[in-house]
Amino acid sequence: MNTLRFRPRAVAALLTTTSVLAFALAGCSGGSSPSNSSASKEGASQGSAAPVPVESNPPGDIPDNLAFVEYNDSSGGYTFTHPEGWAQTGTGTSVRFTDKLNGVAVESLEASAAPTVAEAKADDVARLKSRVPAFKLVRVEKSDLPSGAGIHIVFRRNSDPDPVTGKVYRDEVEEYIAFAAGRLVRMDLYGPVGADNVDAYRTMSQSLRIR
């Protein structure tokens, strides 16, 4: 029977080749690490998006000649007017009307009293920070709407992506918090920063009633 004999140099070369191959395989088996790291970074960035730039020529002006129609929700205990033709989402305690880049969202809940400015700065600003992408507070002030005493909060955020183009705009939101008859109603009026929506916002906020 023939016996295999290895020369010392051949053995050394074989060991070196084996070591290199093992190192390469270890590198391949760890190939999932970079993707896991990227996923972690992406997850960490959720809820802390950077503000998108403000448009130099902001779109989204609500036309002055729009007709307004009343929305009455008995289960939510409120009523208000909004521009005719805006698309509705939701009903009852939470409803939204939108058109292109503009919208009004109303949320109704039971409460025992209207918040003070100090309470709004502590509680409502914290609520918005936790929910709103790229939140930036502009101001918090007392508000006296026909619907009842309350708070006016102005803040900026990144909009939802446009369903057609995917573009994200920098929104300015005017949130009115009004209290009456054991119910608190939040009305958010929003559109791109710099859009001329003052008259439409006034019409909607002044029309809010709580029952």
SS3 per residue for the chain: CCCCCCCHHHHHHHHHHHHHHHHHHHHHHCCHHHHHHHHHHHHHHCCCCCCCCCCCCCCCCCCCCCCEEEEEECCCCEEEEEECCCEEEEECCEEEEEECCEEEEEEEEECCCCCCHHHHHHHHHHHHHHHCCCCEEEEEEEEEECCEEEEEEEEEEECCCCCCCCCCCEEEEEEEEEEECCEEEEEEEEEECCCCCHHHHHHHHHHCEEC
Percent of the chain with pLDDT over 90: 70
pLDDT tens sequence across 114-136: 899 999 999 999 999 999 999 99
pLDDT tens sequence across 21-64: 333 333 433 333 333 333 323 233 234 689 999 998 888 899 98
pLDDT at 163: 86
pLDDT tens sequence across 146-164: 998 899 999 999 999 988 8
Please give the CATH number for the structural domain made up of 68-210. Answer: 3.40.1000.10
Region for 74 from its dihedrals, namely left if φ exceeds 0, alpha if ψ lies in -120 to 50, beta otherwise = alpha
Percent of the chain with pLDDT over 70: 77
pLDDT at 109: 96
Query: Which is nearest to 57 in space by CA: 193, 160, 162?
Result: 193
Residue 60's φ and ψ, nearest 5 degrees, are 100, 10
pLDDT at 184: 96
pLDDT tens sequence across 58-115: 888 999 899 999 999 999 999 999 999 999 999 999 999 999 999 999 999 999 998 9
> Please, are residues 192 and 60 in contact by the beta-carbon 8 Å criterion?
yes
* pTM more than 0.95: no
How far, in Å, CA of 173 to CA of 190, rounded? Answer: 4
Alpha-carbon distances of 42 from 35, 48, 129, 152, 166, rounded to whole Å = 10, 10, 19, 34, 19
Residue 203 has pLDDT above 90, yes or no: yes
**Cβ-based neighbour number of residue 178 at 10 Å:** 25
pLDDT at 5: 45
